Structure 1
């Protein structure tokens, strides 16, 4: 590539230019060790530049700003709650859609939600724990993963956060265009509303808090969308093996909980996964790579733009300017050249000889 050839040519020209004749002798050039040090540093710089190739015009991630992220997350969750609860309550359509989903699952042979619901409800301590899980963990775990990404993976934070926000936006569209009653509200469905039966605190989907929440926003399941996002972030980006395993198990456990508490059908979980796929695809188009393919720190993506500029530039000394930060860094790596003997002295007759 033009940028690589130009960089190698400058390093070679540098080695040749350091042999300067002075009074029948030559000034010694930098040692081989110094030249190898400069070459290896330049090679590392090019390797960093090749790490994340992205097409022209694709936005590179930037280092997130804490105050902006806090305001953005708080405003987004407030807007999500407002829009979710402002969706028109279409009770008749919601129950009609629930019957259609239930019949479809029977046709597919996966309509086992009632069996799972009754089995979990028979173990009191288990179903109470699931009720609290459903009411709290989808929010708590998501916030914790966002904080972890912000602190430990700043170069991947913005693409991952964008995928999460787009997943939530897609879910809001589902609530509006496909109102769906959860299994626990189906008349004649013989499902157990576990929050009502066990008087569990925290869930806005049942009990005294039901009037504050849209009861027919079940498709898609945002619990599955968010838990899949958290699980993939941990499984792909975390280093400890146990954290990766926990990331893989988290969405599976969430799926068990939403079905055991009769808050969702299996197909609601499929809808949540599709929303995450849509959000991830848009984030990929915006940033040119999936979050786990981007550098851990945003500053490491800068040389890629410089290499793109070098391809459009010219050779020779103009390449240093076209290469941008890469050329400037290589120039900074160049050791100082020894001054020729007699340089800077006033010229006299016979170069100072009598």
Structure 2
């Protein structure tokens, strides 16, 4: 212990070495948490250029603590990412399409209008029309739509994936063309706090594509001509191209959304007998016809269908003439 001129001890002014070490560890942990680490162990501040050109960003933090950073600052996984898989499959076309779209204003505005409007107008309209005009098709269609949307939430929660527009080399064309539409730009959303209540890493699967596939399946059921059944799939194809052009989804996001909806359609169709064989449908029709009016089934499928239509409309078929049994034609 060394005495100072004023009589105070130097030991009181010297901090404990154990406390210094603990403080250094605490500051190091705090600095490591404040800067995200990519898969190679490099800090985001030293490798932002490399991480911005790598694959899709899958945020490795807890779901309640998703960061809300500016575009181009999202850390990414360079191995096992969606973009790596697309490169292996030679389908990594997002950057070329997004660059072409951003260089043509009229095309940028057109794709933005499609992205912002068709998804929210066409799907509810088709669902309402089915409810009032095609109740038998409405049930499996409703089940497929709600089931696919519910399952997509699990993908957003367990596999959070950033869209291309949040990476540095891609352009958010929807935000850039906001001056021509009613939707806010990315800067306006950030200023209003909208990013704090929306999930910015919900790209896998793409329900823009999923809902478009659902609409195309419904329209394929409603139309009868072969060329029309093929043409209605143009809506799903156009939506798929639009979500890639605008930088809102990867190609594999679109594939996952379409596969999810088609799988739910398959399940709903079996659940409600939509894929039943024609012979089974005809047998059930004959049984219902016998319950409506005995002897109608012997007259053939057309007569049975007419009787069922009259019964569903609340009309009572005319009684058979005296001396003629039901279901028989008068003899010459």
Q: What is the TM-score with the length of structure 1 in the denominator? A: 0.56
In structure 2, list runs of 5 or more residues that go unmatched.
Answer: 1-62, 69-73, 299-316, 325-332
Bigger relative contact order, structure 1 or 2, given CA contacts below 8 A and separation 6+?
Answer: 1
1:213–1:202: structure 2 CA closer, same or farther, 3 Å change rule? farther
In structure 1, list runs of 5 or more residues that go unmatched.
Answer: 1-86, 295-300, 309-319, 340-354
> What is the match of residue 247 of structure 2?
262
1:208 aligns with 2:188: yes
> What is the match of residue 172 of structure 2?
193
Partner residue of 2:219 out of 215, 219, 234: 234
Alpha-carbon offset, residue 113 of structure 1: 0.2
Determine the C-alpha separation between the residues in 2 that align with 1:149 and 1:142.
11
User: Does the 8 Å contact 1:90/1:179 carry over to 2?
Assistant: no
Q: What is the TM-score with the length of structure 2 in the denominator? A: 0.59
Alpha-carbon offset, residue 160 of structure 1: 1.2
> What is the match of residue 160 of structure 1?
141
Partner residue of 2:235 out of 250, 267, 273: 250
> What is the match of residue 279 of structure 1?
264
Give the secondary-structure state (helix, strand or coil) at the position aligned to 2:294: helix
> What is the match of residue 66 of structure 1?
none
> What is the match of residue 137 of structure 1?
118
Alpha-carbon offset, residue 214 of structure 1: 1.1
| Stretch deviating more after TM superposition (323-332 or 282-291) | 323-332
Determine the C-alpha separation between the residues in 2 that align with 1:290 and 1:241.
18
User: Does the 8 Å contact 2:175/2:184 carry over to 1?
Assistant: no
1:140–1:240: structure 2 CA closer, same or farther, 3 Å change rule? farther
1:235–1:204: structure 2 CA closer, same or farther, 3 Å change rule? farther
1:324–1:240: structure 2 CA closer, same or farther, 3 Å change rule? closer
| 1:23-54 superposed Cα distances (whole Å, 9 cap, x missing partner) | xxxxxxxxxxxxxxxxxxxxxxxxxxxxxxxx
Determine the C-alpha separation between the residues in 1 that align with 2:185 and 2:151.
20
Alpha-carbon offset, residue 162 of structure 1: 1.3
Normalized per residue, the structure richer in helix is: 1
Equivalent pairs counted in the alignment come to 230
User: Does the 8 Å contact 1:303/1:325 carry over to 2?
Assistant: no
1:175–1:193: structure 2 CA closer, same or farther, 3 Å change rule? same
Alpha-carbon offset, residue 227 of structure 1: 0.3
| 1:156-176 superposed Cα distances (whole Å, 9 cap, x missing partner) | 111112111111111111111
| 1:300-338 superposed Cα distances (whole Å, 9 cap, x missing partner) | x89828739xxxxxxxxxxx9xx5335386797772434
1:117 aligns with 2:102: no
> What is the match of residue 50 of structure 1?
none
1:135–1:206: structure 2 CA closer, same or farther, 3 Å change rule? farther
Determine the C-alpha separation between the residues in 2 that align with 1:144 and 1:241.
24
Partner residue of 2:153 out of 151, 166, 172: 172
User: Does the 8 Å contact 1:224/1:269 carry over to 2?
Assistant: yes
Alpha-carbon offset, residue 110 of structure 1: 0.8
Determine the C-alpha separation between the residues in 1 that align with 2:216 and 2:294.
40
1:195–1:330: structure 2 CA closer, same or farther, 3 Å change rule? closer
> What is the match of residue 3 of structure 1?
none
Determine the C-alpha separation between the residues in 1 that align with 2:198 and 2:213.
23
User: Does the 8 Å contact 2:112/2:177 carry over to 1?
Assistant: no
Give the secondary-structure state (helix, strand or coil) at the position aligned to 2:284: helix
Determine the C-alpha separation between the residues in 2 that align with 1:231 and 1:98.
36
User: Does the 8 Å contact 1:221/1:269 carry over to 2?
Assistant: yes
Determine the C-alpha separation between the residues in 2 that align with 1:283 and 1:325.
28
| 1:200-247 superposed Cα distances (whole Å, 9 cap, x missing partner) | 445579442351421111100000000011112112322477864552
